Amino acid sequence: MVLYEKNNVIVRTIEEKDIPYVIKYFEENSFNCDFETGSLRPSTYQFEEIIREIISEECKTEAVLVLEKDNICIGYLSCYISYSNMYLGHIAVKKEERSKGYGKLLTLIALKIASNENRDVFLTCYYRKNRYLRNLGFTSSDNINYMWNGQKEKNDFPIIFMTNEEYEEMREKEMKKEDEEWSNFLKSDLMMSLGKYL
């Protein structure tokens, strides 16, 4: 799905043909961990599996935007939603194409999507003096975790994530399933046999 097109530059959602480029840029960057979730950087294999799931449209809580120049992917931005929030993840641009505003363009497109879907935007950044983020309207109390304070407005961007209502419904089903699995485990023969020792 094309989100932006001007001259020889296109921003769109990821496609199968982009995977080798995105994996290459992922491996070239030193993403380490997410302070909020405490999760470590995924392996290349895990990251590729996530991308394939997103492309198959089985996942409506995550997205990868790619920037294509002259028909070749030269950068990407990953993002995901949780309730009414959007979290910006990895952003990477081919080494030879850096400092040309492509990362900013990807970020602005993600902010427009969030704005259109009425979501707050958060990200974690390990660079202490990040004027770039402040210029885009992000604020931070600890110089690591940032929140976007830009103006939300409806625009003509397509909805690429599930709605808040769909997300709530999905989470409710997941929690109900987890409760049922736990209940079944507690009633299992194993737990019944262990019960006499507890």
Predicted local confidence at residue 162, as pLDDT: 84
The 10s digit of each residue's pLDDT in 126-137 is 766 578 888 888
- All residue ranges of the chain with pLDDT < 50 are 34-38
Predicted local confidence at residue 30, as pLDDT: 63
Map tokens 């309730």 to a residue: 83
∠ Cα 68 106 89 (to 5°): 115
Sign of CA dihedral 49, 50, 52, 53: positive
Enter the pTM of the model. Answer: 0.81
41 burial level (CB within 10 Å; 0-12, 13-18, 19+)? middle
Do 103 and 19 share a domain, yes or no?
Answer: yes
Reduced to 3 states (helix: H, G, I; strand: E, B; else coil), residue 173 is: helix
Do 148 and 189 share a domain, yes or no?
Answer: no
Do 100 and 193 share a domain, yes or no?
Answer: no
Do 124 and 173 share a domain, yes or no?
Answer: no
Q: Which helix (H) or strand (E) holds 171?
A: helix 164-186
Of 89, 100, 70, 75, nearest to 22 (Cα)?
Answer: 75
Do 181 and 155 share a domain, yes or no?
Answer: no
Range of the domain at 107: 2-161
Do 193 and 138 share a domain, yes or no?
Answer: no
Do 102 and 173 share a domain, yes or no?
Answer: no
The 10s digit of each residue's pLDDT in 75-120 is 999 999 988 899 998 889 999 999 899 999 999 999 999 988 889 9
Of 65, 87, 74, 79, nearest to 11 (Cα)?
Answer: 65
CATH at residue 61: 3.40.630.30
Domain total for the chain? Answer: 2
What single string gives the DSSP state of each residue in 88-114? EEEEEE-GGGTTSSHHHHHHHHHHHHH
Predicted local confidence at residue 110, as pLDDT: 93
Percent of the chain's residues with pLDDT above 70: 90
Do 100 and 179 share a domain, yes or no?
Answer: no
